[in-house]
Amino acid sequence: MTIADSGCLMDNGGSCLPHPPEEENRIVAELMRESELNLKEGNLYYVISNRWFSKWQRYVGFYMALFSAEEQSSNSQQANGDCSQIADRPGPIDNSDITSNSNDSEENSSDIRRMLMEGSDYVLVPQKVWEKLFEWYKGGPALPRKLISQGVESKQYNVEVYPLCLKVTDSRDNSLSVVKLSKKATIRELYEMVCKLKRVEQKKVRIWDYFNKEKNSSLNVSDQTLEDANLMMDHDILLEVPLDGDRSAHSGMDSMGNDLALVPLEPSRSSVSIAGGPTISNGHSPGSSNYLYQGSSLSSTSMDMDHKYDVSKGERCGLAGLQNLGNTCFMNSAIQCLVHTPPLVKYFLQDYSEEINVENPLGMRGELALAFGELLRKLWSSGRTTVAPRVFKGKLARFAPQFSGYNQHDSQELLAFLLDGLHEDLNRVKQKPYIEMKDSDGRPDEEVAYECWKNHMARNDSLIVDVCQGQYKSTLVCPICGKISITFDPFMYLSLPLPSTVTRTMTLTVFYSDGSGLPMPYTVTVLKHGCCRDLSNALGAACCLKSDEMLLLAEVYEHKIYRYLENPLEPLSSIKDDEHIVAYRLKKGVQKTKLEIIHRWLDSVKGGERKLFGTPLVTCLAEDPLYGSNIETYVDRMLSPLRRAYSSAKSHIEKENGFNVAGSGDQLNTSNTQCGLMPQTIDSQEQEGTSSGEPSFQLVLTTDRALSCTRIEKDSLIKPGQVVKVYLDWTDREHELYDSSYLRDLPEVHKTGFTVKKTRQEAISLFSCLEAFLTEEPLGPDDMWYCPQCKEHRQATKKLDLWKLPDILVFHLKRFSYSRYLKNKLDTFVNFPINNLNLTEYVKTKDGQSYVYNLYAISNHYGGLGGGHYTAYAKLIDENRWYHFDDSHVSPVAESEIKSSAAYVLFYQRVTQMEGEKSQVHTVS
């Protein structure tokens, strides 16, 4: 792409700066917004090194979402911490750290290094932004990439940073070349590029899918995309060119005279039958309706030809591994668990063609179910031969673009999609009726649960519903009017929080607002997703709060009250671990005016500047009208616990003083918004009617933003309001009489650091995880419930109970937690029963049945968030033996070894009561 030069060059190679930094910022921000409003396939984006782009952002003060969350936070804090520092103008655009020279393609050009991460290694900018940056700074190299759309039903736009690299083997000399195309390019375009590269006529060549260095199928010239042809990154293809006078490429013979497994130009549908059913040919089968495959793309490409197999051989050992196609271990782990689920094995090894639902708008036209069924039968009939799930991966990318590409994903998220997708593809309900849900309105639970399940079955009826779906009871309670809403909802799996993710320890300091005791820190354990009411209750129990007392929670920041936490339903997630939270013990009653006493001391080093220190004291004022003398009394009372033991004796030696509130009440000059006062000489004159012997504190009345300060006199009238803020000035004399250390060193809510010795976390049981899942908790502020009685959205409390459990019960252990600035994985060891897991007492419906389960599969995750690895354990029921499935590698494993802290998703199958009584049944203790 050629861009006109804007004129002269600077010493660093960039063009003359046409605009100041803030103007560059404005132009780029405007172009970014414009591009977001005009997203369409084919738009160009440019890859830029994040190292260079970060320098430019700091230069112009530009902080948008192009940064990773962690880096954005770090840079923002850095910028805020030193606003006066202006970053230097960056030099020319430098992409050298993300590019590498490649000789594999037709042209020796720079290309992007593999395995780079967006946001940390590079950023993507629209074409117009790149043109502006290049105009201002020059440099490069330019790395344009196209925006493509993926998915069938739900379109998703992605910039194709890494196009497909296809390895071309020339059958004439076995030479290897590389061509790079978009996954949305057609096979016709592939032929054109390869023929141009090899300088051969297109009509004389044939290109083969050469996956695993084996001829799989001929890639015939068509408009089929490379993605739909299941060609992947670093895929091998074979170029066959007949020698002069050799017509073997079109006569069914290769250059060595061997027979070729040629595929017709318009290939017929696979003659592989669905196990136990009639052979399908050209989309029709005896005894089945012709519409089964009409309108779908179930061509021969939907039948994986990578490994030929015959299901009639009966070699169904279930010990075949799955080839890793590039960070697909998450998919392999999930698939191995599903293909070893006994009801699914039995179902897909039989004829299920009549249950394929191609009309369901919520499904995948039956293609996902067919691809999964083909893969399952292959795994159960190929002996120990490793299977490459290429076709299944292609279908997955087609219908779930979030799983496209070759990045690592979550096996549980894939399982959720597969179970839901298989259900919709196999849904026996062709036309879903509209059903209006009714409220419980105090009806018996049995009646409401039966009605809800009946309504669910009227729209959802499949193998997945038969064996994998249960029902739980959900109870919502409005915190305002007390309205109770009960619903019974289906579930496919249970996501269990780990107790360490359910609770959090919080340290708060409690102050006595009546001066009856010293401040004391308390550490309590509360629900992580609880609210301030839970924190107040726990703290009240810890500090033995009296029945006529209440706690006022507040956050202290820079020695001032930053905010009051007076909303009992405010989520605890709003309180960060590094914050300082205090609680003030107040008398219950009608809300009164708050008195905030903020401490200051004279900094003689900085020329008499008064600086804040310590923790503010807070109490409630009951007097009306309110005078300065009342303020003095409250201050005297709240400071009394801090008085040193010798202060009373010392005060008798000195002249007795009252509070020195001398002054005319005039407004004083302010300094640094802290109402800094000039040092004052404390009078020692004796005050009439005062016998407390207290030091001469200076009290200054201030406003919310400390814009003005006024000396307080005994007879000065204090204007009432929600909060009265007073500065209390300390001198050396007051520090001698009072121990201010109780006001300093406020502990953080939760202290973490490298000095804390990390201890091994105790094991927790699966039952404790289940109980945490069933614990009542308030809804989050982003998940408000519309109360039909209040006619408002409320932060209701929610309680879940198990009502109906399925034959196949899946537990997802929530090891991963995500937030804007933090990603974390818990390696907590969860002790789960392998045999005879008894959940009968957890099921609320009293149907007299026994709910006992045996474990048969586990999806494991090892390592951290970025470079983790997934494997699976699965039990062959017929052999009563466990195996370890690690991509292509399959090996036996002892039952005693399958429990580990890597266990991520657990698969249980319900057993009969008689079977469960053969050994000890595990129940909650």
SS (H, E, C) 24-39: HHHHHHHHHHHHHCCC
Tell me, yes or no, if 812 is annotated catalytic. no
Question: CA-based angle 210:212:218, to the nearest 5?
Answer: 20
Query: Cα-flanking dihedrals φ and ψ of residue 28, to 5°?
Result: -65, -40
Is the pLDDT reported for residue 735 higher than 70?
A: yes
How large is the average pLDDT for residues 66-79?
39
State the pLDDT confidence band at 591, using cuts at 50, 70 and 90: low
How large is the average pLDDT for residues 846-862?
90
pLDDT digits (tens, 9 = 90+) for 192-213: 888 888 888 878 788 888 877 7
Q: Note the pLDDT of residue 76.
A: 40
The beta strand positions in 733-807, using DSSP E, are 764-765, 777-778, 785-787, 792-794, 797-804
Residue with tokens 């129990």: 541
What letter would DSSP give residue 123? E
CATH 3.10.20.90: which residues of the chain? 164-240, 503-644+696-743
State the pLDDT confidence band at 766, using cuts at 50, 70 and 90: very high
CATH fold, domain 330-500+761-914, is: Cathepsin B; Chain A (3.90.70)
Find, among 525, 209, 173, the residue nearest to 394 by Cα: 209
State the pLDDT confidence band at 673, using cuts at 50, 70 and 90: very low
What does the chain come to in residues? 925
Cβ–Cβ under 8 Å, residues 149 and 156: yes
| Token digits of residue 133 | 């940056």
Is the pLDDT reported for residue 862 higher than 50?
A: yes
User: Cα dist. 735→243, 520, 658 in Å?
Assistant: 101, 20, 17
Catalytic residue among 195, 329, 675, 709: 329
Query: Cα-flanking dihedrals φ and ψ of residue 892, to 5°?
Result: -70, 150
Q: Note the pLDDT of residue 861.
A: 92
CA distance 76 to 820: 14
Q: Which residue would you say has higher pLDDT here, 96 or 341?
A: 341
Residue 656: exposure state from Cβ atoms within 10 A (0-12, 13-18, ≥19): middle
Helices assigned H by DSSP within 655-784: 732-737, 766-773
How large is the average pLDDT for residues 598-620?
81
Helix axes 329-339, 367-379, angle to 10 degrees: 80
Cβ–Cβ under 8 Å, residues 542 and 646: no
Cβ–Cβ under 8 Å, residues 147 and 40: yes
| 94 three-class SS | strand
Is the pLDDT reported for residue 177 higher than 70?
A: yes
Q: What is the percentage of the chain residues whose pLDDT exceeds 70?
A: 74
Q: Note the pLDDT of residue 285.
A: 33
Find, among 659, 697, 700, the residue nearest to 677 by Cα: 700
CA distance 1 to 131: 10
CA distance 219 to 362: 32
Q: Note the pLDDT of residue 110.
A: 60
Query: Is the sign of the CA dihedral 697, 698, 704, 707 positive or negative?
Result: negative
Helices assigned H by DSSP within 661-748: 732-737
**Omega into 806 within 30° of 0, i.e. cis?**
no
| Class of 21-62+89-160 in CATH | alpha beta
How large is the average pLDDT for residues 584-608?
78
Q: Note the pLDDT of residue 466.
A: 93
How large is the average pLDDT for residues 673-695?
39
| 857 three-class SS | strand
Return the bridge partners of 446, or none.
none
- Lowest mean per-residue pLDDT among 60-74, 344-358, 652-666: 652-666
pLDDT digits (tens, 9 = 90+) for 160-175: 888 878 888 888 888 8
How large is the average pLDDT for residues 32-43?
83
CATH 3.90.70.10: which residues of the chain? 330-500+761-914
CATH number of 503-644+696-743: 3.10.20.90
pLDDT digits (tens, 9 = 90+) for 872-924: 999 998 888 999 999 989 999 999 999 999 999 999 999 875 554 544 555 55
Q: How close are the terminal C-alpha atoms of the chain, in Å?
A: 71
Find, among 358, 356, 355, 354, the residue nearest to 288 by Cα: 354
| Class of 164-240 in CATH | alpha beta
CA distance 375 to 393: 11
| Position 11, amino acid | D
Is the pLDDT reported for residue 634 higher than 70?
A: yes
CATH 3.30.2230.10: which residues of the chain? 21-62+89-160
Virtual torsion, Cα 361, 363, 364, 366, nearest 10 deg: -110
To the nearest whole number, what is the mean pLDDT of the chain? 75
Tell me, yes or no, if 793 is annotated catalytic. no
Which pTM value belongs to this model?
A: 0.60
Is the pLDDT reported for residue 81 higher than 50?
A: no
Strands 593-603 and 723-730: parallel
Q: Note the pLDDT of residue 266.
A: 30
Query: Is the sign of the CA dihedral 392, 394, 400, 405 positive or negative?
Result: positive
Return the bridge partners of 428, or none.
none
Find, among 631, 630, 600, the residue nearest to 615 by Cα: 600
Q: What is the percentage of the chain residues whose pLDDT exceeds 90?
A: 18
Question: CA-based angle 289:291:293, to the nearest 5?
Answer: 110
Catalytic residue among 284, 307, 456, 869: 869
| Position 914, amino acid | M
Cβ–Cβ under 8 Å, residues 495 and 814: yes
Cβ–Cβ under 8 Å, residues 701 and 744: no
State the pLDDT confidence band at 215, using cuts at 50, 70 and 90: confident
Q: Note the pLDDT of residue 553.
A: 93
Helices assigned H by DSSP within 427-562: 445-459, 463-468, 499-502, 532-542
Residue with tokens 């096996």: 411
Cβ–Cβ under 8 Å, residues 191 and 221: yes
| Position 589, amino acid | G
CA distance 404 to 407: 8
